[in-house]
Amino acid sequence: QPASAQVRFGIRGGLTLGKLKFDRDVINSDNRVGWSGGVLLDLNMPVLGIGLEASALYTHRNNRLTDNERVFKRDYIDIPVYVRYRLSLPKVGHVFAPMVFTGPDFSILFSENGPVNYKNKKTYLSWDVGLGADLFNRIRLTGTYGIGISRAMDYIDSEYHGDKIEGKDRFWTLSAAVLF
């Protein structure tokens, strides 16, 4: 019997724990909690276990720099696109189906609130890797680690002779989705 692709839609929400990693040790940031929410499109090839998932998420990130306690906030429209392998477990696959996934995450700056000597990039790219599970084929729980590929912000200050200090996001995301 030929396998046919399954297309489903869903809603997703989650918490993000992130920090900025600067290319020089003159500035540090500590972990701060943010949140995300949005919609997803899920495409599965059931017999093969391979799938694609794309989401459109509104993501709020908080950062606090430890050099002088400056706090700033950034809001993004995130578009992660993942390739996923879902394990098919006999007899329990309809109740519990673990998965691994990876793919790019495109971020578009929506709004910002922070110090003037920090310049946020309008767009940036990260690479995500994650683990998760589908429960009862309707609820998806995932844990993701995102590694910034392009820089998310620059710090420009006369103290460093006008040099740019580049910051890239690193973040953990725990999320839950309901699939229809």
pLDDT (tens digit per residue) in 83-130: 999 998 888 988 999 999 999 999 999 988 766 677 888 999 999 999
Q: Give whole-number Cα distances, 155 to 49, 151, 170, in Å.
A: 44, 11, 17
> Strands 50-65, 153-156: parallel, antiparallel or unpaired by DSSP?
unpaired
CA distance 145 to 153: 19
**Where is average pLDDT lowest: 11-20, 29-38, 93-102?**
29-38
- Amino acid of residue 67: D
Identify the sign of the CA torsion 148, 150, 154, 159: positive
Tokens of 108: 């578009």
pTM score, whole prediction: 0.86
Q: pLDDT above 90 covers what percent of the chain?
A: 56
